Amino acid sequence: MGAEAKMTTQQARGLRKNLTPAERKLWQHIRLRQLNGHKFRRQQPIEPYIVDFVRLEKRLVIEVDGGNHGEEAQETNDRERLAWLESQGFRVIRFWNNEIINNIEGVVAIIMNALEETTPSLALPRKGGED
């Protein structure tokens, strides 16, 4: 494991221990295969990023955004991240913290719809983009 990958893994572990209140609430509703048996991972490295939640087999990423995501610099980073994830075959859905806190049932319904619409990948990409 290279130094950069090791750092990303350590960062992900730290993020898992320090979920935001909105991330924690969403995790309580999607963990342990509660959504029709779908297994989600939290704070998962997908090089070069760490995504909030992912259903790898469905190539579905869920991002939880706080107020800083409305700032111009963060919006630019979010666009670049989205473009890269989409180029790797992932579908990304985003929720604001307040959506999760105030309407968890609606958020879960959107996730369920996305899971039904997302077709599984035949193969996950190899590390480093190798074929």
Rounded to whole angstroms, the Cα distance separating 80 from 87 reads: 11
Q: pLDDT band for 35, please (50, 70, 90 cuts).
A: very high
- Residue 104 has phi, psi (to 5 degrees) of -60, -35
Given a contact cutoff of 8 angstroms between Cβ atoms, the answer to whether 98 and 105 are in contact is no
**Domains, in order of start, for the chain:** 3-120 (3.40.960.10)
Which two three-digit tokens encode residue 44? 């998962």
Q: Is the Cβ–Cβ distance between 62 and 93 less than 8 Å?
A: yes
Q: What is the pLDDT of residues 36-52, one digit of tens each?
A: 999 999 999 998 999 99
